């Protein structure tokens, strides 16, 4: 059969009823462990001579079905699902930079990621350098020194909805033998597939639009299967013998998949943020409507953005659908399925009026998630990004009056009327 198209894969990929008593909906394998058939079977599983399940912290069929489906949607070669987006990000970057080194990172990223950059990675001897050179490949080229282990970016950024030129960034990074890691949470593979643009590793918070119902926490790490970038000189961790592997190294055991294999062996296994089979099941159900949800969210966000741009209560608006969008040319070229559900804007008023506005919103939920079926609104500088320093706010181009919206699946006109009445209640109209 020919390669299936995206919308067929999101229903079918990675799961076969034939392997599961013909059940059309994937069973939830609610088990902590799996019996060994014999001592030989146990030894084979432990030394990776034979594939199979052993213990749910490091592998579970339901979790695997979920991971395999996203792998198919992203066109990836290898995948592992983990317990959260933060686990996916931290396991990935530790796996690349363990033992020291620098990660060059986009300043236009999720607040929790910046928090990890400031507080977690230095504890492991990993230095993170936020750089706006990410917008300028020539400048970036000059910043990739010998101790750089990865470039880290978000494809569509949180909360600004900036869109980066992954093709150009990857070209420069590869010249130096350095992989590009893309957090594709806001875009989802429906809007953008980083591996098709030269990226090497993709991470997700599957908590957000990927699964889309605000009912689980999950993350994924995917890669393109090209292990040639991970040289012995720059990444010796993949070539070090491990006693448990009978003295072999991750690269010896899985020459085409040692990046994710080591992430499982060391970080998922020992730091332990495993995804539960229940949550993986909910994730699979969520994926079945990925295109329909993200398409409608993009349309609703575009309608709301246009309304906001025309409102005298609003100072500025950022969304890929707008003619005023900072990366319009890139958006027109790459975001052909829509601009995504996330937009941001600044109100034309005092901080007290902003608070009045938020306290009068009725339909939007006021909380920190995004990508949900429900529309969400949040004052990012005071909440999701409150851990940023003054310098980081400036570098990230997050004005103090920024309000982030994640458009849901309601009728856009009801959402717009809700914003209008809240502007009026705050004396902005």
Ligand X SMILES: *Cc1c(COP(=O)(O)O)cnc(C)c1O
Burial classification of residue 348, based on how many CB atoms lie within 10 Å of its CB (0-12 exposed, 13-18 middle, 19 or more buried): middle
Could you tell me the smallest distance in angstroms from the CB atom of residue 89 to ligand X?
Answer: 6
Q: Which is nearer to ligand X, 61 or 214 (CB)?
A: 214
Q: Strand, helix or coil at 107?
A: coil
Regarding 188 and contact with ligand X (CB under 6 A), the answer is no
Binding-site member from 70, 86, 294, 363 for ligand X (CB under 6 A): 86
Regarding 160 and contact with ligand X (CB under 6 A), the answer is no
Q: Which is nearer to ligand X, 158 or 170 (CB)?
A: 158
- Dist CA 256 CA 228 (whole Å): 9
Farthest-apart Cα atoms in the chain, separation: 75
Regarding 205 and contact with ligand X (CB under 6 A), the answer is yes
Ranges within 355-384 binding ligand X (CB under 6 A): 370
Regarding 214 and contact with ligand X (CB under 6 A), the answer is no
Could you tell me the smallest distance in angstroms from the CB atom of residue 88 to ligand X?
Answer: 8
Q: Which is nearer to ligand X, 61 or 159 (CB)?
A: 159
Q: Which two tokens stand for residue 354?
A: 């902003």
Regarding 354 and contact with ligand X (CB under 6 A), the answer is no
Query: Near ligand X by CB under 6 A, which window of 36-44, 106-114, 144-152, 235-243?
Result: 106-114
Q: Which two tokens stand for residue 143?
A: 């910043």
Q: Which is nearer to ligand X, 144 or 217 (CB)?
A: 217
Q: Which is nearer to ligand X, 140 or 203 (CB)?
A: 203
Q: What is the DSSP string of 204-252?
A: EETTTTTT-SS----EEEEE-S-GGGS-TTT-GGGGS-BGGGTTB-HHH
Could you tell me the smallest distance in angstroms from the CB atom of residue 413 to ligand X?
Answer: 27
Binding-site member from 26, 61, 101, 112 for ligand X (CB under 6 A): 112
Could you tell me the smallest distance in angstroms from the CB atom of residue 111 to ligand X?
Answer: 9
Q: Which is nearer to ligand X, 133 or 161 (CB)?
A: 161
Regarding 69 and contact with ligand X (CB under 6 A), the answer is no
- Dist CA 256 CA 195 (whole Å): 16
Beta strands 376-378 and 365-366 are parallel
Binding-site member from 74, 154, 165, 279 for ligand X (CB under 6 A): 154
Could you tell me the smallest distance in angstroms from the CB atom of residue 368 to ligand X?
Answer: 8
Q: What is the DSSP string of 320-376?
A: TTSTT-TTHHHHHHH-TT---SEEEEEESS-HHHHHHHHHH--SSEESS--S-SS-E
- Dist CA 137 CA 215 (whole Å): 39
Q: Which two tokens stand for residue 56?
A: 């749910």
Regarding 158 and contact with ligand X (CB under 6 A), the answer is yes
- Dist CA 200 CA 204 (whole Å): 14
Could you tell me the smallest distance in angstroms from the CB atom of residue 369 to ligand X?
Answer: 7
Q: Which is nearer to ligand X, 89 or 313 (CB)?
A: 89
Instruction: Give the angle 108-218-52 at the CA atoms, nearest 5°.
Output: 130
Q: Which is nearer to ligand X, 217 or 426 (CB)?
A: 217
Q: Which is nearer to ligand X, 298 or 311 (CB)?
A: 298
Beta strands 376-378 and 402-406 are antiparallel
Instruction: Give the angle 60-65-67 at the CA atoms, nearest 5°.
Output: 90
Regarding 110 and contact with ligand X (CB under 6 A), the answer is yes
Regarding 183 and contact with ligand X (CB under 6 A), the answer is yes
> How many residues contact ligand X, by CB under 6 A?
17
Regarding 106 and contact with ligand X (CB under 6 A), the answer is no
Regarding 212 and contact with ligand X (CB under 6 A), the answer is no
What does the DSSP 8-state code read for residue 268? I
Rounded-to-5 percentages of helix, strand, coil across the chain: 45, 15, 40
Binding-site member from 198, 219, 339, 408 for ligand X (CB under 6 A): 219
Q: Which is nearer to ligand X, 46 or 393 (CB)?
A: 393
Would you say 377 and 358 are in contact if contact means Cβ atoms under 8 Å apart? yes
Report the b/e string of 17-47 with b at 16+ CB within 10 A. Answer: eeebeeeeebebbeeeebeeeeeeeeebbee
Residues within the interface to ligand X (CB under 6 A): 84-86, 110, 112-113, 154, 158, 183, 185-186, 205, 207-208, 217, 219, 370
């Amino acid at each position: 059969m020919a390669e299936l198209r995206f919308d067929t894969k999101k229903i079918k990929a990675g799961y076969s009823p034939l392997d599961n008593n013909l059940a059309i909906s994937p069973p939830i394998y609610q088990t902590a462990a799996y019996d060994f058939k014999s001592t030989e079977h146990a030894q084979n599983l432990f030394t990776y001579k034979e594939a199979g399940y052993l213990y749910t912290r490091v592998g579970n069929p339901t979790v695997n079905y979920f991971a395999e489906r996203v792998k198919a949607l992203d066109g990836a070669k290898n995948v592992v699902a983990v317990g959260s987006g933060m686990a996916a990000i931290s396991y990935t970057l530790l796996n690349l930079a363990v033992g020291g080194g620098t990660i060059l990172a986009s300043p236009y990223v999720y607040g929790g990621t910046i928090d990890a950059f400031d507080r977690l990675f230095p504890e492991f001897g990993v230095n993170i350098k936020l750089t706006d050179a990410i917008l300028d490949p020539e400048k970036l080229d000059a910043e990739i020194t010998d101790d750089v282990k990865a470039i880290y970016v978000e494809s569509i950024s949180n909360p600004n909805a900036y869109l980066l030129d992954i093709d150009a960034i990857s070209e420069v990074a590869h010249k130096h033998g350095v992989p590009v890691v893309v957090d594709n949470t806001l875009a989802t593979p429906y809007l953008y597939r980083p591996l098709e643009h030269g990226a090497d590793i993709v991470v997700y918070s599957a908590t957000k639009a990927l699964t889309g119902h605000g009912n689980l926490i999950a993350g994924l790490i995917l890669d393109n299967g090209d292990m040639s970038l991970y040289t012995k000189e720059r990444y010796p961790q993949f070539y070090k013998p491990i006693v448990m592997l009978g003295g072999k190294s991750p690269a010896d055991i899985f020459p085409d998949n040692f990046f994710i294999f080591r992430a499982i062996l060391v970080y998922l296994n020992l730091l332990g943020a495993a995804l539960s089979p229940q949550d993986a099941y909910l994730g699979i159900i969520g994926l079945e409507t990925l295109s329909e949800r993200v398409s409608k969210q993009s349309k609703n966000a575009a309608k709301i953005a246009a309304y906001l741009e025309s409102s005298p209560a609003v100072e500025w608006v950022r969304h890929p659908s707008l003619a005023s969008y900072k990366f319009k040319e890139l958006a027109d070229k790459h975001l052909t399925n829509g601009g995504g559900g996330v937009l941001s804007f600044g109100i034309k008023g005092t901080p007290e009026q902003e608070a009045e506005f938020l306290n009068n919103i009725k339909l939007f939920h006021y909380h920190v998630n995004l990508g949900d079926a429900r529309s969400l609104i949040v004052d990012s500088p005071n909440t999701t990004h409150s851990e940023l320093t003054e310098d980081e706010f400036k570098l990230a181009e997050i004005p103090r009056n920024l309000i982030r919206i994640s458009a849901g699946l309601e009728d856009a006109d009801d959402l717009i009327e809700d914003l209008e009445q809240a502007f009026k209640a705050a004396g902005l109209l």
